[in-house]
Amino acid sequence: MALKFINKPSIYFIMGTENTGTRHPLTVLKEALEGGISHFQLREKGQFALTGDELKQFAKDCQQLCRAYGVPFIINDDVELAEEINADGIHIGQEDEEAAAVRKRLGPDKILGVSVHSVQEAAEAVGAGADYVGMGPVFPTYTKSDAKKPAGLVGILSVKSTYPNLPVIGIGGITPENAENVWAAGAEGVAVISSIAQAEDVAHQVKLFSHSYKKGA
């Protein structure tokens, strides 16, 4: 069965091998799944990023864990890898392959997410058949060195006022403390790297994000 996009509240965890410090990424992912994440995106970046067969094996290991918890497994950027291992979805940015072409390649059942920074880009993503858009960075982030200037919550507010039914996932510097504001702006989800990947108690941190939803919505 295809795992389609789940609406509110999405606690959307993103991770690659460079994000978990001294901890094994699969251990961190398992703890995040135990804590109740709703989505997982493999985003393998950086100087020491896995490639080739090593990346494929790591992706399959992540996929297997996600399957055990019924959580959609989404791959960042790499459409070929997503096709090859039959991932549940793909997330692409504005610099990647055109969203409409990716939708065509993957067919209607896979999840397609697109990073956008404006209502115009959101309109294009909708036209291309995106299931959700990622908007950010909402707050300052240390994880993505080439991230744009933080947009605050205005981007989310403006996209939601034009497309009330389009799932919007905020990203960038989101913590359990500031997540309330992201929910209050109308986001269906929070996408998080460091605040979960580097938490001392990963499962507990995920639960704090879930609690923030009840406060902010």
Asked if 147 interacts with Mg ion (CB under 5 A), we say no
By CB under 5 A, residue 131 contacts Mg ion: no
108: alpha, beta or left? (left if phi > 0; alpha if psi -120 to 50) = alpha
Rounded to 5 degrees, φ, ψ at 66 are: -60, -40
Can you tell me which residue has the tokens 């090593």? 54
Check if 212 is active-site. Answer: no
91 vs 110, beta carbon nearer ligand TZP = 91
Q: Of residues 45, 60, 105, 144, which has the active-site annotation?
A: 144
Residue list 88-117, contact with Mg ion (CB under 5 A): 93, 96
We find the least distance from the C-beta atom of residue 109 to ligand TZP, in angstroms, to be 25
Q: How far is the CB of 159 from ligand TZP (least distance, A)?
A: 15
CA–CA distance, 170 with 153 (Å, rounded to integer)? 8
What is the Cα–Cα distance from 145 to 86, expressed in whole angstroms?
A: 30
Distance CA 90, CA 81 (A): 10
Alpha-carbon distance of 166 to 156, in angstroms, equals: 11
> Is 121 a residue that touches Mg ion (CB under 5 A)?
no
Q: Is 194 a catalytic residue?
A: no
Told to judge if 195 belongs to the known catalytic residues of this protein, a careful annotator would answer: no
User: From the CB of 195, what's the least distance to ligand TZP, in Å?
Assistant: 6
Consecutive H or E run containing 13: strand 10-15
Contact mark string toward Mg ion, 45..84, x via CB under 5 A:
--------------------------------x-------
DSSP state for residue 142 in the 8-state scheme: S
Per CB under 5 A, residues contacting Mg ion are 77, 93, 96
Q: Which residues are designated catalytic?
A: 43, 115, 144
